[in-house]
Amino acid sequence: MGFSKAALVEGCREHGYGDTARLLFPHGEFAIVQYHLYKERTRLQTLQTQVDAEEGPSQSRRVRRYCVERLRGNQALVGRLPEAFGLMAVPRNAPTAVEELALLADEIVFLSGDDANSLDWYAKRAGLGAVYAAAEVFMTQDRSAGFANTLRFLDARLGDLTTAGSFVTGAVQWGAFAGHSALNVLRSQIARG
């Protein structure tokens, strides 16, 4: 039934509530989208031991694996994802959808073993969120067996992210070095003065 009012009504009926119980959900069918996003994000936590054992110490392999596992959570309803995207784009729903994407990126990075809170903390998560969202959109058009094209797309974007991440980290480090150097020059000028 997808992410529809009919699905919300049917869900209420299945749990013994009347049709008007759907009024308990002020964002209507977006509540189904929210539930799906939350359920699939938190499911990743249950995979941590397995992922750690199978992917080893490589953080990048674990990030990829969590992204793949999260995409697998969409397989059964891939034909309905455009409905979910449409509901997420509604202005009153967009902040919640963006927050959930940020939580997903944070969860993946954390589960992958990165608990640092350095200057590039936000860049890592924003970049990963953008890569995941792009892969999810790509998935809606993918007709390849086992979503092989989506996985290739994901791998390419994660590669781009690694390259960009190295650039950002280098730029941040260079900026910190340049700032520290400038401060030392100022201190030496003041000391002479």
What span, in angstroms and rounded, lies between the C-alpha atoms of 110 and 90? 29
**So what's the pLDDT on residue 169?**
44
Tell me the residue range of the domain where 144 lies.
5-192
- Alpha-carbon gap, residue 147 to 15, rounded angstroms: 34
So what's the pLDDT on residue 164? 56
- Tokens representing 41? 């994000």
Number of domain units in the chain:
1
Q: Which DSSP letter does residue 18 get?
A: -
Residues 6+ apart with CB under 8 A from 142: 78, 149, 150, 153
How much is the pTM? 0.80
pLDDT in tens, the chain (193 residues): 788 788 877 887 888 887 776 677 777 889 999 999 999 999 999 999 999 999 998 999 999 999 999 999 999 999 999 999 999 999 999 999 999 999 999 999 999 988 777 767 888 888 999 999 999 999 999 999 999 999 999 999 999 887 655 434 444 443 444 444 444 444 544 555 5
Give the separation between CA 107 and CA 41, rounded to whole angstroms: 8
* pLDDT of 128: 92
CB of 87 within 8 A of CB of 98?
no
